[in-house]
Structure formats: structure tokens, C-alpha cells
A = this chain, B = another copy of it.
């Protein structure tokens, strides 16, 4: 692990963070291993402790290390958990969308495309449990007087069950990003009784097809749902645009 103190283009703390990060990612530092103490690191890199600390905080923000105080504490290489991976993914995706780097259409397209990809595996691997969750959510969605907020939550839960049925954690966590990123805009949509009816019908179809292990029909229905979602969002986006101009 070497840094170049003469490279004025980059902060020292960023360079040090990079050096340690590379060592971790490349496998030179293994899980649960302890890094040298902050004082030792500052000796090794020949920088002050503050600089080392800033580097370590950068790594902590990426869940690469965890720190513990006390005599036998220190910074330990972290085994990143799904929850943390989710968190990172969601933060990044939300930013990409909220800053209008990508449009709602693109996010929506990506989301349903990935859900369709899940459908293939979900049809093979879905358990009774997954189906039960989906049916429960459909019933909840059919309740009259359900708030838009609760409706959205239930919608997410439904799709989450669909994705989980594929039993591929990578796809689960990738999708979480796209779904969460869409959420702010989805929350702005007012779902009328008629809207909900249509969506519930599509949800029921999906559950049925999944029950029958008919992957292609699930995909087909997801395309319909995707199109319908885009239609609903269209009005909201148009109103938002008008508001900006006016």
C-alpha cells in the first residue's frame, strides 16, 4: 500500500482510502482482519492522524470497514451485508433519478424489464409462501378506503414477493434500487378506484400465472402493467412540468 505525497491533484485522505480500498477489494486484506491502528497508519503513510481518520471514514461510508473503540478495538474489514448493499444501491439510484439524470420512463422500463427477467426463475422456484404473500397483498389492495400511501406500500410488497420468488439475491437488491428510485414519483400519483381495479386485475393475473408456472404469461402481464404505470405517471409528470414553467 503506497501513496504518492506529491500528487497534488488528489487529497491525501482520498489516496489513502483508495490504497486501503484496493487492498480490501483485491483480497490482500481478508474479512474480519484488523487494520493497523490510526497511529500506526499515520506512521506508515507519513501523514497525520486526522488525515488517516478522514480516509477511514470514507471507507466506513462504503461499509468497507467497521470501527470499534477500546483496547482491542480498531478498524475491521467488514463483511458487507445485504441490508448495507441495499442501502448503497437505493441511495445511488434515488440520486440518479431525483437529479433527473435519468427519466421516470427509463427507470420504469428498467424496473419492469428486470422484473420480467425474474419471472423466468420465479415461475420455476416460487413457493406456496410467495404466492400466499402476493394473494394477501392483492386482498389488501382491494380494500375500499385504503390510503394512497398504504396502497403504494402494498404494491411494493407484492412486487417484492414476486422478485423474491426468483430467489436470486443479486437481482433482488438491484431491483430494490430501481423500485425505490421510482417511489417518490409513484407517491405523487393519486390512484382512483378505477386505476386500482385495473392494477389489481393485473396483479391477480400475475399470481395466477405464477401459480401455473407459466413464465411467459407472467412476462406478458408485466409488460401490460408497465405500460399502464407509464400512462398513470404521464399525467403527473405533465402537471409537474407545467408547474415548473408557470
Contacts and interface: CB of A to CB of B under 8 A. Distances in A.
Interface residues of A, number: 54
A221 B155 CA distance: 34
Contacts of A114: 114, 117, 171, 174
Interface string A90-112: 01111110110110001101100
A143 to B, nearest CB: 29
A15 interface: no
Contacts of A120: 113
B99 A79 contact: yes
Contact of A96 (B21, B80, B121, B177): B80
Interface in A1-34: 13, 17, 21, 24-25, 27, 31
Interface of A: 13, 17, 21, 24-25, 27, 31, 50, 53-55, 57-64, 79-82, 85, 88-89, 91-96, 98-99, 101-102, 106-107, 109-110, 113-114, 116-118, 120-121, 168-171, 174, 177-178
Label chain A's interface by main secondary structure.
Answer: helix
Contacts of A99: 31, 79-80
Contacts of A24: 95
Closest 10 CB pairs of A and B: A110-B170, A58-B61, A61-B61, A113-B117, A117-B117, A54-B57, A80-B95, A57-B57, A110-B171, A174-B174
Nearest to A80: B95
Contacts of A27: 98
Contact of A17 (B61, B79, B118, B168): B61
